[in-house]
Amino acid sequence: MKTILVTGATGQLGQCFQKQSKKFTNFNFLFCSSAELDITSKESLRALFKKHNFDYCINCAAYTNVEQAENEHEKAFLVNAEGAKNIAELCNEFGVTLFHFSTDYVFNGQSRVPYKESDEVDPINIYGASKLKGEEIIKELMQEYFIFRTSWLYSEFGHNFFRTILRKADEKAELNITTTQLGTPTNANDLADYVLCIIAAGSKKYGIYHFSNEGEATWYDFAKEILNYSNKMDEVTLNKTGFFKTLAERPEYSVLSKEKAIKNFGPIKDWKISLHQLIDEN
């Protein structure tokens, strides 16, 4: 039976792994929250790796506040780069395969065709730079790793755009949503399930991959689809806005090409289909 460590287990993606893990009864999971396991403490990690014979580590622990990162440069790099380094070193030492998650924000957004894994990286905010540094460290230290860059993660868990829009609808709010950024919403449950299926298949096709749902949308498109399918469009005033002022610069275009992942691991759902399924479930 494969033993799998999941770090950052109470964050959005970590909770999705907890939910999806119930389908994989032949795996032995150890879920650790960031409070229980601090990935910036190599001693804590080493003690855990010594105690358990892990086959895989799924690292969901990350600093993800894009806005705050602009003012917390050191903290973002401590978790997303130094923390990734600690995990990579321990995985190497104990012969553990690593799954790690990165972001579409490693790109500058000046492309107009979906970004491939081999395309030039050029982050335009601190969060993207910290995640890129984590990627580079893992690539340098390890051979047996999977890095999945993803985009616009949402789910029924944690703080995300999907949950915010539904909450605003309940509050009968007026919403001004930008139309200038083009990307792809990604149901974090789909990403968790995809990774666990790769483990179940015993794949050794290591490397960097892109995973988001299929298709593309603006944040306005995403909000409109959430409200329409939830039958809440009449409860809010939804306005398009060209420019939405934020502290962190965001890439205008961050659609990811999933060609490599699909070729190696199988199909990925369209973002609207996945969104509808999540709303139906909840």
Give residue 242's pLDDT.
82
Distance, in Å, from the CA atom of 194 to the CA atom of 48, rounded to the nearest integer, reads 26
Contact 66, 21 (CB under 8 A): no
Q: Which residue type sits at 160?
A: N
- CA 245 to chain CA mean position, Å: 23
Share of the chain above pLDDT 90, in %: 98
Residue 162: phi and psi, rounded to 5, are -55, -50
Give residue 273's pLDDT.
98
Give residue 159's pLDDT.
94
**Domain annotation for the chain: domains and CATH numbers:** 2-158+186-213+256-270 (3.40.50.720)
Q: How confident is the model at residue 123 (pLDDT cuts 50, 70, 90)?
A: very high
What is the rounded average pLDDT for all residues in the chain?
97
Residue 146 has pLDDT above 90, yes or no: yes
Residue 10 has pLDDT above 80, yes or no: yes
**What would the mean pLDDT of 106-117 be, rounded to a whole number?**
97
Give me the active site residues, please.
Answer: 127
Q: How confident is the model at residue 44 (pLDDT cuts 50, 70, 90)?
A: very high
**What would the mean pLDDT of 6-35 be, rounded to a whole number?**
97
**What would the mean pLDDT of 232-239 be, rounded to a whole number?**
93
pLDDT digits (tens, 9 = 90+) for 173-228: 999 999 999 999 999 999 999 999 999 999 999 999 999 999 999 999 999 999 99
pLDDT digits (tens, 9 = 90+) for 262-280: 999 999 999 999 999 999 9
Q: How confident is the model at residue 27 (pLDDT cuts 50, 70, 90)?
A: very high
Pairing of strands 182-183, 217-218: antiparallel
The pTM for the full model equals: 0.97
**What would the mean pLDDT of 43-68 be, rounded to a whole number?**
97
Residue 246 has pLDDT above 90, yes or no: no
Give residue 245's pLDDT.
76
Write out the two tokens for 50.
């010594």
Query: Bridge partners of 53?
Result: none
Contact 65, 42 (CB under 8 A): no
Give residue 225's pLDDT.
98
Residue 30: phi and psi, rounded to 5, are -120, 110
